[in-house]
Chain A
């Protein structure tokens, strides 16, 4: 089989493998403790009132439609209620390691968020368990968070909180966006289409999304030029307008010169002399996110001035 043919069949082989894996997975999947609902009343006989903190949430253990039992999370020996509770204590997930606790939660919550935690396990690795952010008993915040989301994230990520104090930043403090609008998006299935996270930016910045007939490769996260929005912008906060990482105006033109050297003819040539020396690049190259008109990303208004009539600045 030629290499090309083998490559062409690769997706089919991988898909078959995936299908088999899931079928096998279903066959070994243990059902969650759906049969345990009836046991909750026995728990409440001693732990009176503990169900009150679960009312109005999916974790309620009593009432019509209850799908969860105390023992789904506090899964211990039946001797706890049948014999001696002191000698047979029930486990408290909040006091387990992060991975052990996640195993309890994923009995039901095996969704993409859990998969993110499993896959990019920065939180789990640092023993930040599910219960570090979510409070099963008694939270009144959305998704049972312990605090409002941004406040919760910043309580550990103190360095990032400092970055949001800079003059130009995303409006986190105003409540217009939240940390999870960019980070830990709940459905990661679409993020693989973005190498550097640029797709995340385009959720709001649709005017810069492309495709453009004439692209600036630095803005493309599929570019081999280390592309993506964060080549030029610092999304957490910057001291420069438009959250730029470097200034683009003379005498500091590093935003452009981090990749481009200035062609000598831009500084001095026989047609214009030294007129453009010290002039910001974007005086002419205005369409830096991509152009609908020309490959040099030049302003279309230069056409009216005749700049593109000759061979120098034509397409």
Chain B
């Protein structure tokens, strides 16, 4: 239905179009697979057979307007569509639709399907006033595996989510924004409505009313002030159980000179949760300063936060420091440090005190306009000493890119991640290595070629290997025609956790015609 509506829009647009460009592509998908179909997400939405792969229309109804309609896989259950029409600076309308499925079982017999409709409208009756509205409806239907998964259950227990989906979530937002120069304000209301045909007790409605104001004062361009306030509720339709949420925020940005910036942010929020019978008050203060220089910048900041929920009282202190060094476009270095400490003043939370810290550095070098080399290193640690839990991780990566004008480009990325977790029960450690490489060639006239590989090796307490290889080519001929072909191989092997494997060969061939 979503695509049908978009096609109607397309028909109306094309009929009135003053100018029209576009592309139509049709083709076939060949899918050959073996093993557990629930292992590789990339193939969940690949369907064997004839495909109307793309209808792209780009045109205008009058000289100053523009519309773009992009429909993909129209005849398949992975169809997507986008429509945009705009009179720049005056009017914008957007509609979108997509559907996709999730596969739960090895034989692809247990699947659920999500459908997503979006409509948005923005009107600018005068330069300083913007009115907008958005609607988004998401439905999910179909089957799912029971949770906990069969056949492992001893008791035959099933969660209240059951083994089927049939729910819908409608989100909408309406707003108005007025500004004059750099001062302005906005109001918005956001509504949500969730309904579950299989579990009526889960039906709920929510609303959030919000306002924001911003103003440069008292020194124009030197001191900006932002204020926000919001109030919202979310409640079960029949149960009377609800959250009431409110917040106030102030952010002040002071830039006495172009090279200095001082930022202060204050936030106070309250959530009344009558299921827990608790009212949580949170107050947060953040202060940070940045010094900008033509060769980079330095920054540092400090934050203090308290959370009071009638029973427990916790406070947090956080700090960060970092900077960058960019003497010219050939070199870019960045580094940062973040730390945070939670103090459970009454020792009543489950996690008690928490200490965490992270470091990160990134280096990018461009020895010439064609080559980019770089690397990144990040380290993090989070410790809960009272319950003896330590979570830590290191990520190191390197990348290289090469571009040769009129020939093409090549890139290589490698990431090595170590994630370690330890608690009173046992450790759980995973090492992940991810390699990605890609080559693009455009040397031959009317022919574009590309090939690439992504390889994952996940080890230690898990033992998983996954790879994706592709080769693709596009050839333009007879002026407006083009032939595209793409070959993909997906491989997945899980030797420990679930002992499953999967291999798929996918070929997609399309013949295109430019309007």
Contact = CB atoms under 8 A, between A and B. Distances in A.
24 contacts: A32-B181, A67-B89, A108-B127, A110-B214, A115-B214, A159-B397, A162-B413, A167-B492, A171-B41, A171-B100, A175-B80, A176-B100, A189-B230, A207-B161, A211-B242, A222-B282, A223-B280, A224-B312, A226-B354, A253-B425, A254-B423, A254-B425, A287-B161, A292-B160
Nearest to A279: B154
A222 B271 contact: yes
Interface of A: 11, 14-15, 18-19, 21-22, 24-26, 28-32, 34, 56-60, 63-65, 67-68, 97, 99-100, 103, 106-108, 110-112, 115, 118-119, 121, 125-127, 140, 142, 158-159, 161-162, 165-169, 171, 173-176, 187-190, 192-193, 195, 203-204, 206-207, 209-215, 217, 220, 222-226, 239-241, 246-247, 249, 251-254, 257-262, 279-280, 282-284, 286-288, 291-293, 299-302, 305
Given A158-B399, A211-B242, A167 B464 contact: yes
A299 B222 CA distance: 59
A100 B80 CA distance: 39
B160 A29 contact: no
Nearest to B226: A115
B229 interface: yes
B23 interface: no
Contacts, number: 358
Contacts of A63: 63-64
B171 A22 contact: no
Interface string B418-433: 0001011110101010
Contacts of B307: 224
A300 B148 contact: no
A19 B190 CA distance: 23
Given A58-B88, A171-B100, A282-B148, A225 B349 contact: yes
A246 B428 contact: yes
A155 to B, nearest CB: 10
Interface string B157-172: 1111100010101010
Contacts of B201: 292
A279 to B, nearest CB: 6
A193 B208 contact: yes
Given A119-B253, A189-B228, A254-B428, A168 B41 contact: yes
Interface in B239-263: 239, 241-243, 245, 247-251, 253, 255, 258, 261, 263
Nearest to B148: A282
A142 to B, nearest CB: 7
Given A222-B271, A286-B148, A103 B221 contact: yes
B3 interface: no
Contacts of B250: 14, 18
B428 A252 contact: yes
Contacts of B378: 159
Given A167-B464, A167-B466, A247 B497 contact: yes
A192 B253 CA distance: 18
Nearest to A301: B157
Given A29-B182, A213-B239, A299-B155, 7 more contacts: A28-B216, A119-B226, A121-B290, A162-B434, A211-B273, A224-B312, A261-B424
Which among A32, A106, A223 has the greatest number of chain B C-beta atoms within 10 A?
Answer: A223
B188 A187 contact: yes
A217 B100 contact: no
A282 B148 CA distance: 6
B309 A224 contact: yes
B6 interface: no
Interface stretch (B441-449, B455-463, B474-482): B455-463
A209 to B, nearest CB: 7
B194 interface: yes
Contacts of B354: 226
Contact of A252 (B177, B230, B426): B426
Contacts of B399: 158
B100 to A, nearest CB: 5
A286 B225 CA distance: 47
Main secondary structure of the interface of A (DSSP, over half): loop
A286 B147 contact: yes
Contacts of B425: 253-254, 257, 262
Interface string B52-65: 00000010100111
B324 interface: yes
Contacts of A121: 261, 263, 290
Contacts of A262: 425
B265 interface: yes
A96 to B, nearest CB: 10
A31 B148 contact: no
Contacts of A106: 182
Contacts of B133: none
B275 interface: yes
A241 to B, nearest CB: 8
B434 A165 contact: yes
B374 to A, nearest CB: 8
Contacts of B497: 240, 247
A300 B155 CA distance: 12
Contacts of A291: 160
B213 interface: yes
A284 B157 CA distance: 7
B147 A97 contact: no
Contacts of B66: 56
A263 B496 CA distance: 28
B63 A25 contact: no
A65 B292 CA distance: 39
A67 B438 CA distance: 43
A11 B236 CA distance: 28
Which among B87, B349, B378 has the greatest number of chain A C-beta atoms within 10 A?
Answer: B349
A42 B390 CA distance: 66
Given A28-B216, A225-B351, A112 B324 contact: no
Interface string B331-365: 00010000000100000011100100000000000
A169 B41 CA distance: 8
Nearest to B153: A283
Nearest to B375: A158
Nearest to B46: A174
Contacts of B183: 22, 25-26, 28-29
B285 interface: no
B39 A167 contact: yes
B45 interface: yes
B194 A207 contact: yes
A190 B232 contact: yes
Given A111-B177, A125-B290, A142-B84, A301 B158 contact: yes
